[in-house]
Amino acid sequence: MSSTVKSHKPHDRMAAYLTEDMGAVNRLIAERMASEHAPRIPQVTAHLVDAGGKRLRPMLTLAAAHLCGYTGGYHVHLAATVEFIHTATLLHDDVVDESGQRRGRPTANLLWDNKSSVLVGDYLFSRSFQLMVETGNLRVLDILANASATIAEGEVLQLTASQDLATTEGIYLQVVRGKTAALFSAATQVGGVIAGAPDAHVQALYDYGDALGIAFQIVDDLLDMQGDAAATGKNVGDDFRERKLTLPLIKAVARADAEERAFWVRTIEKGKQVEGDLDHALALLHKHDALIDTSTDARIWAARAVEALQPLPDHPVKTMLSELADYVVERIT
């Protein structure tokens, strides 16, 4: 299960190490996204699934199970479960955000319609539920049920917090835990649970996934403000245009003088944006070191992820997980 080519990217090395299992996950996904009666379902799902993505979440489940010495087959079900939950939330997110692009391709809600995205998302969520029930492991079900509720709650919280300048870093963290970290931590945790790992190891896997997810999302929000569209598949300033209070913005708003505050009220709260506003917003972020401080926060969370691995047994996968946490923040330019 090891690759002869040493890639710079830890998730590529992990994919190479887990290549057999990932093949099984992909086959299970293809099998379960089928629908005898409603061909629209595999069409919409394939559009997203084939577009690739890094399959990071299912890989985390497989990696955790390997790290904990699992020899059964249910980690494949759980990895597919996690990917289906992720795909379902992407479909619903694109409807909620009224997005037109995802992974460099038109979104499903644009290619078909919002209706299809809502209903196919529901279908994938149900399918994920069937997959996890098949494992017959109630603790795993409990973890994934709680993660699902945290995800949905985080999405609603993001909806109500968006456009609200009173959003604090604490609320941001809750939103991020919901929209990203809850599924990362559930993904790693269930890998340990299905392997019958001791509580301390399961806790370590949870902590790792949680910190990795938070670092990952902070970096994502940072790249939205400074990345280039070719590398990220997103346009710089999308979050600004959608009036999302991400961490760099929250920091800049907290440090704003009266005139700057008026700018944020107009552009974010009232949504009255004109030509040149994005450039001015970026200038304010620089002026207040909001981007530098945000990347420091991301590095702190990545370091916490590495540290969380400490109680776990030595294993090639452990090294890869550690490198993965470092790599997440390496994306910051």
Interacting residues toward a copy of itself by CB under 8 A: 35, 37-41, 89, 92, 95-96, 114-116, 118-120, 122-123, 125-127, 129-130, 133, 136, 138, 141-142, 145-146, 148-149, 151-153, 155-157, 159-160, 174
- Minimum Å gap between C-beta 281 and a copy of itself is 24
Nearer to a copy of itself, 110 or 152 (CB): 152
Distance CA 309, CA 122 (A): 34
Give one DSSP letter per residue of 140-166, joined into a string: HHHHHHHHHHHHHHHHHHHHHHTT-TT
Nearer to a copy of itself, 19 or 160 (CB): 160
Nearer to a copy of itself, 68 or 157 (CB): 157
- Minimum Å gap between C-beta 170 and a copy of itself is 10
Distance CA 115, CA 29 (A): 22
Compute the Cα dihedral for 292, 298, 300, 306 and give only its sign. negative
Q: What DSSP element (H or E) covers 312?
A: none
11: its two tokens: 């998730």
DSSP code for 112:
S
- Minimum Å gap between C-beta 310 and a copy of itself is 31
DSSP code for 101:
E
Nearer to a copy of itself, 160 or 296 (CB): 160
Nearer to a copy of itself, 129 or 263 (CB): 129
- Minimum Å gap between C-beta 144 and a copy of itself is 8
Q: Are 225 and 142 in contact (CB under 8 A)?
A: no
- Minimum Å gap between C-beta 117 and a copy of itself is 9
